[in-house]
Amino acid sequence: MSGLREQQKALRRRTISQSALTLFAHQGFQATTMEQIARTAAVSVPTVFAYFGSKQEILLEKLHAADRRAIAEARERIAQYANPLDAICDFQRRLTEYAFEVMPPALWREILPPLLPLLGPDQSALPEAYKRVNDALVQELTLLLGDLCSAGLLRATLDIEYAAFMLNDYGHLQLLRLCTQSEPDKQTFWADTRRSTAFMLSGMQ
């Protein structure tokens, strides 16, 4: 019985989450209310709050899952690369593609601008829920860079925590630039990302 109950709870959580993402995509994040999410998911408002404390939590849970998927796949492929630039660009490509699976460019345009000024070294003004997800991504990226150091592809004395912070911080800016295009030019974006990453890597090798 407990197994069935857990399955039902997991299904209800996915239904609420997907309903919220659909509303975010169609009418924007700020314009969407928890009441609308509950109505679309065919549950009560208290039920939505029982699973998610806010609509931010719904969005961030999906983004965190996408980040972890990108990191896990990139780390699995490290041994295939003789060049750390290829490994990091592979991660960046996966991270961007999976981010777009969660939210379309228009929604990123709404979410990112207020957050970018808060993502510097002092993140005290960053909303706590977003800070947790961002910190987790930086930690995962630190592990990826650590793998590259262990493989001899980056210098052993590299400050991998700061390098991870720098790559993540600049990655947010690059993502916003891509999203501001009415028709995102991903080929140019990947080329620009590779050039900027190569420049940063020149001090890491």
Residue 182's SS3 state is: coil
| Whether residue 34 has pLDDT greater than 90 | yes
Give the pLDDT mean for 5-22. 92
In the chain, the domains with their CATH numbers are: 1-53 (1.10.10.60), 56-201 (1.10.357.10)
Q: What is the CA radius of gyration of the chain?
A: 19
Task: Judge contact between 20 and 59, C-beta under 8 A.
Answer: yes
Query: Which structure tokens are listed for 103?
Result: 């939210």
> Tens of pLDDT along 100-119?
988 888 888 888 888 877 77
DSSP state of 122: -
Give the predicted TM-score (pTM) of the model: 0.82
Q: Look at the block and give the residue holding tokens 């991903």.
A: 186
Distances (CA, A) of 194 to 18, 114, 182, 188: 33, 26, 22, 10
Contact 23, 40 (CB under 8 A): yes
CA atoms within 13 A on the CB side of 124: 1
Tell me the pLDDT tens digit for each residue of 85-104: 999 999 999 999 999 988 88
What lies within 8 Å, CB to CB, of 97 at 6+ separation is none
Q: Is 120 helix (H, G, I), strand (E, B) or coil?
A: coil
Residues, the chain, total? 205
